[in-house]
Structures are given as structure tokens and as C-alpha cells.
Amino acid sequence: MADGNGNSTKLADRASELGGKVTDSQAWNSIFRPGSIFRKGYTDSPRNRSYVVMNSLLYHLHPVKVKRHAVKVSYTLCLGGLSFFTFILLTVTGIFLMFFYRPTDTQAWANIQQLETAVYFGSLIRNMHRWAAHLMVISVFLHMSRVFYHGAYKAPREFNWVIGVILLVLTLMLSFTGYLLPWDQLALWAVTVGTNMMGYSPVFGTQIRYALLGAKEISGDTLLRWYVLHVILLPFVAVIFMAIHFWRVRKDGGISGPL
Amino acid sequence: MVEVPEHLLKRSAERRAQLSGTSGEAAPAASTETTPETPADAAPAEATAAAPAAVAGDDSQEITEDRDGVPAHLLERARKRRLAAAGGAAGAAAPAAAAASTSVKTAAPGAPSGTGPDGHTQRLLTVVKSGSIQQTRAEAVDKVHTWPHLLVIELAAALAVLAMMLIFSALVRAPLLGLADVNQTPNPSKAPWYFLGLQEMLTMFHPMVAGVTIPGMGIFLLIISPYVDKNPSNKPDDRKWAISMFTLFLVFWTILVIIGSFFRGAGFNFVFPWTNGIFFEL
């Protein structure tokens, strides 16, 4: 028993010694910049708390200090952050789905079937992608309502509100283009109803509809077109607007309030 | 040409005369002026005792003097200060306080402190209202460190949502109906839920109004709302109109989406979900 204890303490010593060597190494210190909580000898002090943010990528998103009321969950309900997090979640799960999907009218539906039945976690990831998409529409909408009720769109934040409305439209378009991709009856007819409405736009209705569908009616061309919109073009545009949106939050003096 | 005030001319003339060598009178007076501190510390009790006496002695000559519109009580206060200083300088020679005060008055122009005609050491140049002065220091804001206060909350929220999504996705399957068939229209055909408000309005208005004009107007109104709402307050009590309008919009839209989702059956006719079932897929 005593022998076992001695061995285990020796092992623990060896382990901590090895850990110390690793965290002392040039490689480790080249990865984690000064002030990182993963560096050796990090202690909790106001100075180090500042360095954690200032010396990391986070500094592009957050200032070193924020207003005390801004930290209250009851003020923001985390809705903006939740929208962003669902976007990240959708990107990750979406990339996974792209490995198993071909955007053609003969293969798309079968690919989804195979994904559900023959791929490890395929069904789970597809479910997550679908539910997170709905959650994102809801959270973006609730985020907008929260901002309105707090009067947070007022000067100097008017333009960030406009960017927010653009992001809401982009979110709806992302969701709607994704709706077609499974190429099942639900997808086809939901998109038929949606695009028929757009066909009634004044003056250019027919042209707009043709540009969206890539043909006179929904077909394999539409599928390819919406796939490109869904996985590249709209996310690309959305990321640019998100970057401006987050940047403006800080430039306009942090989040609004308190009431 | 700018008119130089008379007292300044007078002072400069006196100064010039002093520099040109007639410093016989001014020098001793200046010495009593410049060394008031040292004896005053030694005998403060005597100085305070001497001061009232000196005031009493000088009352008749000086308090009524009201030159340049300076109120008499201010003149008196200034004189008391001077007397206190002179009395301190005199130290043990307290009885000479009255004489010293008069000598201060006459010799004041020669003093190195550069006083005005009545021994004033300050002049009022202008009055600046406090509001017009730019504040150079920002008001203190109650702030906390982003790490750990904000980042821990964000991490916790992200993990909670991730866990929720994982559990929900493991339990509830995303719909996948049969292969798309252009020749087989399901009844009813519904748009995604967030467009069902528009589809609902399609039953009331021309498609151009319901599908293009109304949503276009909605987006436009949202975009211009910060430029239309000029009310600077963010207090709910001050913006009842804006809040009621937005709430009306939300309620109206929610009701349309709910009707479109659950109360529309075959042929997009109005049905009750508890009698005809739900025609709704996410």
C-alpha cells in the first residue's frame, strides 16, 4: 500500500515535471501569447485579466472592459451572441453535410437518404443543421425585438440597426435557399410557393424569378444555383456584414443602456 | 487705439521711478511685506490680538472708501488680510500695527507682488458660465473585466445551447418526405414557416401586394425607423408610441404565422387543428 502510494506520488511528480517542461518550452510560448491563461505562471490579477483579452484574437471582438450592466444576461438575453453561435454551429455542421451531398436533381435526395442511414452521426448532424437553422431565424428575430424595445437603435447606433436588418434578410435567404436542398416534396413545393410570390414583383417579376430559378420552373439548375447561394455566396456576404456589425457595436460605444 | 487703464499707467510710472534709483522708501516696506511668515508662526496669538485693534483704529479712514465700484465690505476684508500679514510681520511690535497698515497702503505699488491701486492682488477678467466649459475628463463608468465576467457567461451560454441542440437533434428527426415530384402537388403546399404570414396574406390581397409590396414596405420601415424616431430617450415610459407600434407589428405578424401554420388545411382553407389535424412541416 505504502509502496503504491510512493509510486503514485512519484508518477504525479513526473507528470507535473513534464507538464512544466512543456509549458516552459519555446513551442508552447510561441502558441500562447503573454497573458494567456494557458501560459505558465498565470495568476489572476487585474493586469493579467486585461492581457487575456488584449493579447488575444478576442481583442477584435471584445474590449478589455465592458460596462457592468452589459454583462447582465437579463439585459441582452444573449440573443445576439446566440445568433452568432448558431451561425458557427451551422457552418460546422454544414461543412460536414457537404462531404456527402451532390446538388443534382438525380442524386440530392438519395444522398440525404444515405447520409441518414449509412453515415456515422449523419442523421444527428443533419438534424442539428435543420434545427439550428430554425433557431437562428428565431434568435435573430428576437434579437431585433430586444434591440427595438431597449431603444438601442437610436443615435449613434442607427446604421448598425440598418446592418442588422440586412443580416435579418440574409438569415431568411440562407434559411430559404437551404430549404430546397434535400430535394423532397416539402422542399420543392415550399420553394415553389415562395418563388411564385417573388414572380409578382413589379416590372421585373418574370426576370427575377428566372434569375432565381435558373430556368422557367424549378429544376436541377435551380438546385445548383441555390446550393452555391447557400454554401458560398450568402455566408460570405453574411460574414462581411457580421464583421461590420460587431465592429460597429464597439465603435458606437458598446451595447446600449442601461434603461 | 487701446486705452490703457489709469491704474496700470500709474503703476508702471511708479515702477519706473523705483527702478531709476529712488528706492529709499520702497525698500524697507518691501522687506516687511516679503517676510511675514517667520514671526507669524512664532507669535500667532499676538498677531490675532493685534488685528482687531488695528481694524478698530482704521475703520474711520478706509471702510467708506469705495473706488472702482468695489463694495466696501470686500475692501474691508482685503484690508484685514493685509493687516493680519503686517501684524504678523511686526511680531512683537504690535502697537505699531496701525502705522504699518498705512505704510503698506502707501508702499503697496512698490511691493514685488505687483498689487493694484488699492493693494488688490487679483482682478476679475471675465465670468465664464460652468456649462460652456468643455469637459475634458470623461465621466466614470462602472466597468468590469471582459475576462472572466463576460467570457465565462458567453462560454456557458454557448455550451448550454450546444447541449440543448444535441439533445433535441438526437430526439427529433428533421423531416424528409418523398423525392421531389413536379407532377404531384401536395395539398396544401406551404412555404417555410417564416413566410407563412405572407402566404396567409396571399388569401386576402393580390399576390403583388401580399408577396412584394407588404414585405418590401416592412423591410423599408425597419430600415428607416432609427431615422424617423427622433425621440432620444430609451426609457419605456417616454416611448409608448414606438413600443406600441412595434408590439402591434409583432402580434399581427405572429398571429398571421400561427394561422398560416396551424389553421390552414387542404386547399389552404381555414381549419381547426383539433378537428382536422395539423398540416405543418418544419
Three-state DSSP state, A237: helix
Nearest chain A residue to B243 by CA distance is A149
Alpha helices, DSSP H, located in chain B: 6-19, 26-34, 37-42, 44-62, 72-90, 97-107, 151-171, 196-202, 207, 214-228, 240-262, 273-276
Nearest CB among B144, B174, B198 relative to A66 is that of: B144
Q: What angle do CA A256, A159, B229 make, to 5 degrees?
A: 75
Residues on chain B touching A123 (C-beta within 8 angstroms): 173
- C-alpha span between B250 and B244 (Å, rounded): 10
pLDDT for residue A158: 94
- Collect all residues with Cβ–Cβ distance below 8 Å to A131 and sequence separation of at least 6: B165, B168, B169, B172, B174
C-alpha gyration radius of chain A? 25
pTM over 0.80: no
pLDDT for residue B115: 67
Three-state DSSP state, A233: helix
pLDDT for residue B100: 45
Cα separation values, B33 from B77, B102, B116, Å: 18, 13, 15
pLDDT for residue B41: 44
pLDDT for residue B146: 92
- C-alpha span between B232 and B242 (Å, rounded): 12
- Collect all residues with Cβ–Cβ distance below 8 Å to A190 and sequence separation of at least 6: A179, A180, B189, B190, B191, B192
CB contact under 8 A, A185 and B186: yes
User: CB burial class (10 A; 0-12, 13-18, 19+) of residue B56?
Assistant: exposed
- C-alpha span between B211 and A199 (Å, rounded): 9
CA B148 to chain centre: 29
Residues on chain B touching A73 (C-beta within 8 angstroms): 153, 157
Residues on chain A touching B202 (C-beta within 8 angstroms): 197
Q: State which of A56-60, A66-70, B4-8, B93-97 shows the largest mean pLDDT.
A: A66-70
Q: Is B3 in the A-facing interface, judged by CB distances under 8 Å? A: no
Nearest chain B residue to A218 by CA distance is B182
CB contact under 8 A, B177 and A153: no
Region B244-253: mean pLDDT is 94
pLDDT tens per residue across all 259 residues of chain A: 445 566 778 899 999 999 889 999 999 999 998 888 898 888 899 998 999 888 888 888 899 999 998 889 889 999 999 999 999 999 999 999 999 999 999 999 999 999 999 999 999 999 999 999 999 999 999 999 999 999 999 989 999 999 999 999 999 999 999 999 999 999 999 999 888 888 888 888 888 889 989 988 899 999 999 999 999 999 999 999 999 999 999 999 888 878 7
Nearest CB among A131, A168, A217 relative to B165 is that of: A131
Nearest CB among A81, A153, A187 relative to B157 is that of: A81
pLDDT band at B52 (very low <50, low <70, confident <90, very high): very low
Residues on chain B touching A38 (C-beta within 8 angstroms): none
Cα separation values, B97 from B51, B63, B92, Å: 8, 17, 10
- The set of cell numbers assigned to B86 is 503686517
- Collect all residues with Cβ–Cβ distance below 8 Å to B135 and sequence separation of at least 6: none
- Collect all residues with Cβ–Cβ distance below 8 Å to B86 and sequence separation of at least 6: B32, B36, B54, B97, B100, B101, B104
How is chain A split into domains, by residue range?
2-60, 70-251
- C-alpha span between A210 and A164 (Å, rounded): 28
pLDDT one-digit tens code per residue, B109-167: 444 556 677 777 777 888 777 666 666 677 788 899 998 899 999 999 999 999 999 99
Chain B residues 126-145 with a CB less than 8 Å from chain A: 141-145
pLDDT for residue B56: 43
Nearest CB among A53, A126, A257 relative to B147 is that of: A53
The CATH superfamily holding the domain A70-251 is Cytochrome Bc1 Complex; Chain C (1.20.810.10)
Whose cell is 454551429? That residue is A89
Residues on chain A touching B254 (C-beta within 8 angstroms): none
CB contact under 8 A, B186 and A189: yes
CB contact under 8 A, B168 and A58: no
Q: What is the complex's ipTM, to 2 decimals?
A: 0.90
Reported as half-sphere exposure (CB side, CA atoms, 13 A), residue A92 has a value of: 10
Provide the sign of the torsion angle of the four alpha carbons A108, A112, A117, A119, taken in this order: positive
Element containing residue A146 per DSSP (H, E): helix A122-149
pLDDT for residue B113: 57
CB contact under 8 A, B166 and A73: no
CB contact under 8 A, A192 and B189: yes
pLDDT band at B68 (very low <50, low <70, confident <90, very high): low
Give yes or no for a contact between A163 and A245, defined as CB atoms under 8 angstroms apart: yes
Residues on chain B touching A256 (C-beta within 8 angstroms): 234
Residues on chain B touching A192 (C-beta within 8 angstroms): 189
- C-alpha span between B60 and B172 (Å, rounded): 103
Region B98-106: mean pLDDT is 46
A107 min Cα distance to partner chain B (Å): 10
pLDDT for residue A120: 95
- The set of cell numbers assigned to B6 is 489709469
- C-alpha span between B270 and B282 (Å, rounded): 20
Cα separation values, A170 from A164, A240, B216, B253, Å: 10, 11, 14, 19
CB contact under 8 A, B191 and A194: yes
The residues facing A192 across adjacent strands are: none
CB contact under 8 A, A124 and B161: no
Average per-residue pLDDT in chain B?
76
B137 min Cα distance to partner chain A (Å): 16
A5 min Cα distance to partner chain B (Å): 37
pLDDT for residue B4: 77
Percent pLDDT > 70 in chain B is 69
- C-alpha span between A127 and B173 (Å, rounded): 6
Q: For B144, which DSSP code? A: E
Show the beta-strand stretches assigned E in A22-151.
Answer: 65-67
Nearest CB among A37, A197, A256 relative to B198 is that of: A197
Q: For A52, which DSSP code? A: H
Residues on chain A touching B176 (C-beta within 8 angstroms): 112-113, 116, 182, 184
